[in-house]
Amino acid sequence: MAPPKSIGAIELSSIALGYAAQDAMLDAADVEILIARTICSGKYLVVVGGSVSDVKAAVSTALRSADESIIDHLVIPNVHESLFPALGQSIVLDDADDVGALGVVETYSGVSILAAADAAAKAARVQLLRIHVAMALGGKGYCLMTGTIADCRAGVAAAAGEARQRGLLVAETVIARPNRELFSEYL
């Protein structure tokens, strides 16, 4: 199956209303659940994929069904295809010596890191290595990207700009020559 053209995400302050919103999303449109789970701080996160119109319909339905518990939401039409393997944590590096620089962006929410990672992938020739959404992070998100120093700087700047615009940037950094051990779990 081809990756979805669009993703939508909704972060809620209520687990119960999260389940209800997830069900409403599935009933409203032909979307695929990419992530649906409780996250730190007692919140619920749903990420769906599908056509742009289906994702918009699903997110719109969820917003109407759980409006008082909505923390953050988004729809990314024409999402960059590199988000999916990074979100699924399925990236395997053959040799960390050839990776180049390491860019890291950290946000206050799971939804905002998705928008930030998409912005990075579209702005620069970086490889999204990992997108970690809210689990065991107190509800935060972070993404790791690799590439040349210039590309990592451009990717991190785009990602940080997206998160900053949402008021949810925690930190950003580019490590020009990362120690090989930083990549030990990816080799």
pLDDT tens-place string over residues 87-117: 776 666 666 556 789 999 999 888 899 999 9
Residues 96 and 37 in one domain: no
Note whether 91 and 174 are same-domain residues: yes
Please indicate, yes or no, whether residues 100 and 181 belong to a single structural domain of this protein.
yes
68 and 42 in a common domain: yes
pTM above 0.95, yes or no: no
Of 76, 102, 126, the residue at which a domain comes to its end is 76
Residue 180 belongs to a domain with what CATH number?
A: 3.30.70.1710
Whether residue 179 sits in one domain with residue 90? yes
**Which of 69 and 134 is assigned the larger pLDDT?**
69
CB 125 within 8 A of CB 81: no
The total of structural domains in the chain comes to 2
Least confident window among 8-22, 35-49, 132-146: 132-146
User: In degrees to the nearest 10, what's the CA dihedral of 158, 114, 59, 24?
Assistant: 180
87 and 72 within one domain: no
Rounded to the nearest integer, the mean pLDDT of the chain is 87
Mean pLDDT of 37-60: 91
